[in-house]
């Protein structure tokens, strides 16, 4: 019986198709569990006994939702299925190094894996819709619901609202054009050296600013084109192996690319990455301008908002008088962990209405952000506090609603466990399941 928790399906001694759980009309086999173990392993997760127990419980829980989704005649979201399938395939192909390695790892052809995963993601979109339907039946919280929650929960369990800042900024960028021209000139020189016979890998080790690949001579490994910036993928896919690209610009910087191998929509390439470098003179000049603007604002010669509209080079905030907003939520309030470290250091000791000294920071463009110089004004500070009905109603209402949605989903699963035909093989009897109700459904074999 303990064989079911061995390292791989090959060690089940021919019982990979053994049914280990029956949930209504759905069956879970050892092969189903091991397929999920392999996917987890391809994504770097450790394979152990606990993982298999968790997978079994997740599969059984999902089948409860899936059965109800079919009863409710829910329809598959084809767009989500295709997107999830493509993401799964790209992840494992990139992680394992290509189609042949994927087929070897999973022990079956890629077309078969596509079929299996396609069915899994079809089921998954129905499961998610059923869960959303159950959660959606929970109504919006009324003031009475929120008040009852506050009155019944321990004060220590009420959410803590962290300190929040409302900020405005004035930004100046360094001379990008000159810096871009300089880095292109350096890359053109390297390209000429490679064409004249110098080794690409050696130059990548010496000059590339991508630390992950530089130590491997710039080699990225066989990977799906979808994981790279489009400009990089387009350039690589258009090259024949052994040829050197022209300079390619992406949000990471500027690249020279040499393709080593191509297989369908995957490729293995070397690259040399260089990023624009800015001088002390750039910073000195920008800081002098920002300091002058700051002085004018402090002397009431101009308002901060008007100065932002006139002088700031950050388009998203300039038109709004410099007021910053979270690009993900649109909120004008920032918690500490939502701020860039450089920005927080600059404002952490300021009071409302005070303006920071000029700093070097990063914008929200590209993977890591581009260098930008700025001053920041603290418009408003909301101190950290325990959530209250008067000041944090919306947050409390959302918390109560999410809590009740969780209760509704839990109640659905617990009810289905009690009222569905479920049989679990005793080889999993030692599993510690999250829901104790499963323990009543072990067979007596």
What's the CA dihedral at 216, 219, 223, 224 to 10 degrees?
A: 140
pLDDT in tens, 399-431: 899 999 999 999 999 999 999 999 999 999 999
Q: Are 199 and 210 contacting, i.e. CB atoms less than 8 angstroms apart? A: no
Cα 320 to its chain centre, rounded Å, is 29
pLDDT in tens, 316-373: 899 999 999 988 778 899 999 999 999 999 999 999 999 999 999 998 877 778 899 9
Query: Which residues have CB under 8 Å from 389's CB, separation 6+?
Result: 146, 147, 150, 396
Could you tell me the pLDDT band of residue 53, with boundaries at 50, 70 and 90?
Answer: very high
- CATH fold match for the domains 2-139+403-441 and 164-174+279-383: no
Per-residue b or e along 159-182, where b marks 16 or more CB atoms closer than 10 Å to that residue's CB: eebeebbbbbbbbbbbbeeebeeb
Q: Which CATH fold topology does 164-174+279-383 show?
A: Chitinase A; domain 3 (3.10.50)
Q: Are 380 and 365 contacting, i.e. CB atoms less than 8 angstroms apart? A: no
Does residue 1 carry a pLDDT above 50?
A: no
Q: Which helix (H) or strand (E) holds 155?
A: none
Write the CATH number of the domain with boundaries 2-139+403-441: 1.10.4030
- What's this model's pTM, rounded to 2 decimal places? 0.65
Nearest CA-CA partner of 347 in 386, 374, 385, 315: 374
Q: Give me the helix-helix angle, 99-106 and 78-96, nearest 10°.
A: 90
More confidently predicted of 200 and 39: 200
Query: Measured between alpha carbons, how far is 267 from 140 in angstroms, rounded to an integer?
Result: 50
Question: What is the token pair recorded at 211?
Answer: 């630390």
Query: Measured between alpha carbons, how far is 278 from 261 in angstroms, rounded to an integer?
Result: 35
Write the CATH number of the domain with boundaries 177-274: 3.10.50.40
pLDDT in tens, 129-167: 999 999 999 988 899 999 998 988 888 888 888 999 999
| Residue ranges per structural domain of the chain | 2-139+403-441, 164-174+279-383, 177-274
pLDDT in tens, 208-236: 999 889 999 999 988 888 889 999 999 99
Could you tell me the pLDDT band of residue 12, with boundaries at 50, 70 and 90?
Answer: very low
């Amino acid at each position: 019986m303990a064989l079911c928790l061995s390292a791989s399906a090959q060690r089940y001694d021919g019982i990979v198709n053994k049914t280990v759980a029956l949930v209504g009309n759905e069956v879970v086999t050892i092969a189903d569990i091991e397929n999920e173990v392999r996917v987890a392993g391809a994504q770097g997760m450790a394979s152990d006994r606990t993982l298999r127990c968790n997978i079994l419980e997740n599969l059984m829980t999902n089948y409860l939702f899936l059965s109800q989704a079919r009863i409710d005649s829910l329809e598959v979201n084809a767009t989500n299925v295709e997107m999830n399938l493509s993401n799964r395939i790209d992840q494992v192909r990139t992680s394992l190094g290509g189609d042949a390695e994927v087929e070897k790892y999973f022990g079956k052809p890629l077309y078969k894996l596509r079929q299996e995963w396609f069915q899994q993601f079809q089921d998954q979109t129905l499961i998610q819709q059923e869960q959303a339907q159950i959660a959606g039946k929970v109504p919006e919280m009324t003031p009475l619901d929120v008040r009852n929650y506050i009155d019944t929960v321990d004060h220590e369990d009420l959410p803590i609202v962290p300190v929040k800042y409302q900020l405005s900024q004035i930004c100046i960028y360094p001379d990008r054009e000159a810096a871009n021209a300089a880095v292109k000139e350096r890359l053109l020189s390297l390209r000429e050296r490679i064409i004249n016979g110098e080794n690409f890998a050696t130059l990548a080790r010496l000059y590339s600013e991508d630390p992950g690949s530089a130590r491997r001579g710039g080699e990225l490994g066989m990977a799906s084109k979808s994981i790279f910036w489009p400009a990089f993928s387009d350039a690589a896919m258009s090259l024949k192996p052994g040829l050197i690209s022209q300079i390619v610009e992406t949000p990471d910087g500027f690249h020279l690319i040499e393709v080593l191998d191509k297989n369908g929509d995957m490729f293995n390439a070397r690259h040399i990455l260089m990023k624009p470098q800015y001088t002390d003179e750039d910073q000195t000049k920008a800081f002098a301008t920002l300091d002058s603007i700051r002085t004018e604002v402090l002397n009431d010669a101009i308002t901060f908002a008007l100065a932002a509209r006139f002088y700031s080079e950050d388009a998203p905030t300039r038109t709004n008088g410099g007021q910053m907003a979270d690009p993900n939520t649109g909120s004008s309030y920032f918690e500490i962990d939502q701020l860039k470290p450089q920005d927080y250091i600059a404002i952490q000791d300021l009071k409302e209405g005070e303006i920071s000294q000029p700093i070097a920071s990063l914008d929200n463009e590209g993977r890591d952000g581009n260098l930008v110089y700025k001053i920041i004004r603290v418009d408003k500070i909301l101190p950290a506090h325990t959530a209250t009905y008067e000041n944090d109603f919306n947050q409390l209402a959302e918390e109560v609603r999410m809590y009740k949605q969780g209760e509704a989903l839990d109640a659905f699963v617990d009810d289905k466990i009690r009222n569905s035909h479920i049989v679990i093989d005793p080889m999993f009897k030692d599993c510690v399941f999250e829901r104790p109700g499963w323990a009543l459904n072990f067979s007596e074999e």
